Amino acid sequence: MNKTSCSGVSFDFTSRFLPPVYILVFIVGLVANGWGLKSLQQKWRKLKIINVFVLNLGLADILYLLTLPFLMVYYCMGSKWIFGDTFCKITRFCFNLNLYGSIGFLTCISVYRYLAIVHPVRVMGKLTVTRSVAISIMVWLLVSVQCLPDMFYSKTFGNESGKCYETTRKRVVEDYLNYSLGWTLTGFCIPFLITLGCYGHVTAIICRKKFTDKVLKQRSLTMLLILILLFSVCYIPYHVFKNLNLWSRVLLNRQICYEWSNGVYVAHQISRALVCLNSVLNPLVYLHVHEDIPAQLRQLLQQACPMFSRPTSTNSGNVSDTNG
């Protein structure tokens, strides 16, 4: 530790690392979510209760993906924001709305699965599409209320530095850390514990009892694996390193420096790339809850195989000509 001279954190890593990740996420995420939403739209009349939450999950992803081109330009220009203070805040707001909206709707799906499997008789007739729509509206409102205070923190500092901060400038970073910790508790920790409890109970029941419905057992365990993947890869590292990075910035303001500060910053940037992958991984939920999509995938593969095999068969008779 050095309390007298604090070396600055190197920000070059962000401009090199994030743009390629954002390009990949934008292309793959837009295709995957667009295809998933189209599949839901085609089966709209057969809409199931859980598909209401999946639909909102997809809309949250699309909302965030549409902001990525602006962030690509920002980081490719060496972290120079040219789109104004208001749009900077809107871009960061859309990221937070996607992140905590995704967590919220994944929690709703987990609770629905728990009630349908553990308490099927009690909830019979009570889980309706209308109530699912009402719950979805409540999730959007709660997430918006959680994200709204972030809009009041300075993001560009009057554009003097050309930055579009993910959090805020250093003068108010200590206050922002307190807000971030409360936000992490209500927006991530509580939903995570609810999700963990629901699927932990479901898994215990499925494994303990002789479950006759093998399809339901397989789908429940698959969903558990998807959630473990999403939380362990996307959500947990981001919240851990975001708050650690804010804490290192608070210490830096107090002229208290640690050797791990730069490492925490790099880890936080990697976690930012990982958390935006939720827009690519969320479509896995489509495969789980929508029965027709795996069949559609098999049909597409069957159609694609003849397309690749035809040129081979037609050219097989001309091998001697091309080699001669």
In this structure, what token pair is assigned to residue 269? 């940037």
Mean pLDDT of all residues in 233-254: 93
Q: Which of 80, 108, 83 is nearest to 94 (CA)?
A: 83
pLDDT digits (tens, 9 = 90+) for 253-272: 888 878 788 889 889 999 99
Which pLDDT belongs to residue 38?
A: 79
H or E segment and range at residue 194: helix 190-208
Which pLDDT belongs to residue 315?
A: 44
C-alpha torsion 279→216→201→116, nearest 10: 90
Q: Which alpha helices (DSSP H) does 235-318 contain, by range? A: 236-253, 261-276, 278-281, 283-289, 292-315
Q: Which of 310, 186, 180, 303 is nearest to 248 (CA)?
A: 180
Which pLDDT belongs to residue 69?
A: 93
Asked which of 36-40, 86-90, 225-229 is least confident by mean pLDDT, the reply is 36-40
pLDDT digits (tens, 9 = 90+) for 52-106: 888 899 899 998 999 999 999 998 888 888 888 889 999 999 999 999 999 999 9
Residue 2's φ and ψ, nearest 5 degrees, are -135, 115
Does 191 score more than 70 pLDDT? yes
Q: Please state the separation of Cα 108 from the chain's center in Å.
A: 15
* Cα atoms found within 13 Å of the Cα of residue 222, Cβ hemisphere only: 12
> What is the value of pTM for the model shown?
0.83
Does 180 score more than 90 pLDDT? yes
Does 44 score more than 80 pLDDT? no
Which pLDDT belongs to residue 160?
A: 55
DSSP string across 41-97: HHTGGG--HHHHHHHHHHHHHHHHHTTHHHHHHHHHTTS---S-HHHHHHHHHHHHH
Domain boundaries, the chain: 12-294
The domain made up of 12-294 has a fold known as Rhopdopsin 7-helix transmembrane proteins (1.20.1070)
Does 322 score more than 80 pLDDT? no
Task: Provide the 10 A C-beta neighbour count for residue 24.
Answer: 14
Asked which of 77-81, 106-110, 192-196, 277-281 is least confident by mean pLDDT, the reply is 77-81
In this structure, what token pair is assigned to residue 136? 């979805």
Q: How far apart are CA 92 and CA 98, in angstroms?
A: 10
